[in-house]
Amino acid sequence: MYIFVIMELGSRRIVHFNVSESPGLDWVKQQIREISPYGQGPRFLIHDNDGIYGQFGIHKRDEEGGSFRCSFDMWLDKTMGIEGIPIAYGAPNAVARLERLNRTLREEALNHFVFLSEGHVRRVCSEYIKYYNHARPSQALHAIPDPYPELIKPPHKDGMVVALPVLGGIHHDYRLVA
């Protein structure tokens, strides 16, 4: 299984993910369309140099003078109005936050299950990403996670601490409730 993840680097929030047994360039393009409704997508998209993106081998110039390393970058620019930025070859630290997410997702969620189907992988990833975005504290963001929508209203001062199980109890999200 392949897990495709789009992260907003400033907030470290997972914006979109999907799972596929055999992703192709058309499938990746569809994922970009899903995060860009009505043409209001991101300004830049940093991606690796996977062969799935239709590598040219050398920079290819278009008739307007643009230079592209792969057909995916050309499609992003011409169709979506997004500037594709491929990371340098052999430099995974260029997207260290996403590399860290890959490791965290694998170690804290995926390694704890034997998956039976693509849907099973999708459900586990969905629950973990909800936990990652709303409950898991980030030291870079001063350890203050965004609250779940149902917990936005401040709790009473004399509330109880409850443990909300995540992934069947592998993790817990501790919250003060009324």
- Token representation of residue 64: 């307007």
- How far apart, in whole angstroms, are the C-alpha atoms of residue 13 and residue 7? 6
Global pTM exceeds 0.85: no
pLDDT digits (tens, 9 = 90+) for 30-89: 999 998 877 677 889 998 888 888 877 677 777 777 788 888 998 998 889 899 888 887
Domain residue spans of the chain = 2-108
